[in-house]
Copies of this chain bind each other. A is one copy, B any other.
Amino acid sequence: MSRPGPGALCTLGEAGGPLLAARDVSLERGGRQLFTRLSFEVHGGHLVQIEGANGAGKTSLLRILAGLSRHGFEGRVQRGAALLYLGHASGVKGLLSPRENLAWHVAGEGSYSAAQIEAALAAVGLYGYEDVPSNTLSAGQHRRVNLARLHLSRSPLWLLDEPFTAIDRRGVGELEELLVAHAERGGAVVFTSHQPLRVNYDVRALCLLRGLLP
């Protein structure tokens, strides 16, 4: 997979500081303590996989880290850089074409040329599907429209919730490479997944233990 986007990441925080820092984050939901006093830092070059059984609190943690959940948890989260969050819901409009969707998704981050957009779509295998309405795409293709953002993003910090869902085997491999490439360029990725990554890179695991009762 070639990266269509230009190289430099834009950093907001002080150079050298962590891209993301969680201090003593605890969360209780529905009467169950999901995690207690979680503290960690994410620096450039880190690839962090949040692991845990169904219901362990991976999605909840990611939403707290992204700043989407702002109440109901304890502790503090510091974000040192612009971030990109991709959740379960994709924000892909059925009425718009993949091209329009992607153009709109990256509109907040910077201005991209039509060629860059097209290249990003081709990079996720949507060549030939750029201009069909997105609601005729298959589950995996739908998801790929979203993942195309990663090819254009200049945010150093990526927070991805189950990015491999519905993606076929080859796509998974390409996505893994993309994550590694991002980390190697000084970015950081925090993602959840039930499958281990098959890459040559030091993937840090963050294990959430509770979850489904045995």
Contacts and interface: CB of A to CB of B under 8 A. Distances in A.
B168 A138 contact: no
Interface string A78-103: 00000000001000000000000000
Report copies per complex.
2
A54 B141 contact: yes
A54 B171 contact: yes
A110 interface: no
Contacts of A172: 194
A194 B213 contact: no
A72 interface: no
Interface in A123-175: 125-129, 132, 136-141, 143-144, 162, 165-172
A136 B170 CA distance: 33
Contacts of A136: 29-30
Nearest to A126: B212
A149 B53 CA distance: 21
Interface of A: 29-30, 52-59, 88, 125-129, 132, 136-141, 143-144, 162, 165-172, 194-195, 211-213
